[in-house]
């Protein structure tokens, strides 16, 4: 069965790669990207619907099989904890509700390793609260990927700490024991490929995928 997919966050590090993969996948019939700015990607399968976040429910009419949230920012880029929460929790939740309201069966979501609603870390607590909220919306299947440090070409200038973490990741990954492999770094391309592999999965339920799962899934994505 050919699938209709809608994605939010198609201009980000993972989302942009996923958008290209979805367009190239033979089993995907149509891709709709909803967002506040164009991705710049052109493809016969792709339709971009641009508007403010409060317009997204109207932009998501048409019926979809799968929805994917690649939404996410940092507290620094957002400008405050409140602004960060508005994107990584409120906007993700609004997108999910609109997708479910449009009859979407499966929801894919990029979260973070260590996400937990009760975490003392604001970033991880926000991610965990978003996961909890999504679980109660009513999708038949939910797939949440929790990558470690993402490696890839980012837009904008990275802070010194971020640059050092990425540069040192080959060493820290080797020093991180296998039992803690979920905390290693992972290429954004692998995350995108794993999401493609999960697109259209039939078994019902909620599934959490860490680094090792994503690497395994990415090998069978095509």
- Region 111-135: mean pLDDT is 95
Looking at the structure of the chain, the number of domains it has is 1
Q: What is the pLDDT of residue 170?
A: 53
194, 209 Cβ separation under 8 angstroms:
yes
In a domain, 166, yes or no: no
166-216 pLDDT tens trace: 444 454 444 454 545 577 789 999 999 999 999 999 999 999 999 999 999
Q: 108 lies in a domain?
A: yes
Residue 9 backbone dihedrals phi, psi, to 5 degrees: 95, 25
> What's the length of the chain?
222
Half-sphere exposure of 51 (CA within 13 A, CB side): 11
Answer whether residue 178 is part of any domain: no
Q: Which helix (H) or strand (E) holds 16?
A: helix 13-24
- pLDDT of 158 reads 47
Is there a domain that residue 208 lies in? yes
* 174 in a structural domain: no
Alpha helices in 79-221 (DSSP H): 81-85, 92-101, 122-135, 160-175, 188-198, 211-219
Confirm whether 21 is domain-assigned: yes
Ranking 65-69, 98-102, 141-145, 200-204 by mean pLDDT, the lowest is: 98-102
Q: What percent of the chain has pLDDT over 90?
A: 68
Q: What is the CATH number of the domain that holds 71?
A: 3.40.50.720
Helix (H) or strand (E) holding 68: strand 66-69
Q: How far apart, in Å, are the Cα atoms of 170 and each of 64, 174, 209, 212, 215?
A: 39, 6, 22, 16, 16
Instruction: Map tokens 């939740």 to a residue.
Output: 93
Write the pLDDT tens digit of every residue in 67-97: 999 999 888 888 999 999 999 999 999 999 9
Angle between helices 92-101 and 122-135 (to 10 degrees): 10
Q: How many CB atoms lie within 10 A of CB 102?
A: 15
Q: What does residue 4 show for φ and ψ, rounded to 5 degrees?
A: -105, 125
Distance CA 17, CA 93 (A): 22
Residues linked to residue 144 through DSSP beta bridges, in sequence order: 109, 208
Q: Is residue 167 part of a domain?
A: no
Residue 111 lies in a domain: yes
CA dist., res. 87 & res. 80, Å (int): 11
Q: Supply the range of the domain harboring residue 211.
A: 3-150+187-219
Q: Which two tokens stand for residue 45?
A: 């399968």
């Amino acid at each position: 069965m050919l699938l209709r997919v809608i994605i939010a966050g198609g201009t980000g590090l993972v989302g942009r790669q996923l958008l290209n993969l979805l367009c190239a996948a033979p089993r995907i019939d149509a891709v709709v990207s909803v967002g506040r700015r164009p991705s710049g990607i052109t493809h016969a399968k792709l339709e971009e619907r641009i508007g403010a976040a409060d317009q997204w429910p109207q932009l998501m009419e048409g019926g979809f099989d799968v929805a994917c949230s690649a939404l996410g920012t940092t507290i620094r880029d957002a400008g405050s904890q409140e602004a960060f929460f508005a994107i990584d929790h409120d906007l993700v939740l609004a997108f999910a509700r609109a997708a479910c309201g449009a009859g979407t069966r499966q929801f894919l979501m990029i979260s973070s390793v260590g996400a937990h609603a009760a975490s003392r870390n604001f970033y991880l607590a926000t991610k965990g609260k978003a996961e909890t909220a999504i679980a109660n919306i009513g999708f038949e299947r939910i797939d949440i990927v929790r990558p470690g440090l993402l490696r890839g070409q980012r837009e904008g200038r990275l802070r010194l700490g971020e640059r050092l973490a990425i540069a040192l990741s080959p060493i820290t990954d080797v020093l991180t024991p296998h039992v803690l492999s979920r905390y290693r770094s992972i290429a954004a391309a692998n995350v995108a490929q794993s999401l493609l592999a999960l697109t259209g999965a039939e078994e019902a339920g909620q599934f959490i995928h860490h680094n090792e799962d994503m690497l395994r899934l990415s090998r069978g994505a095509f």
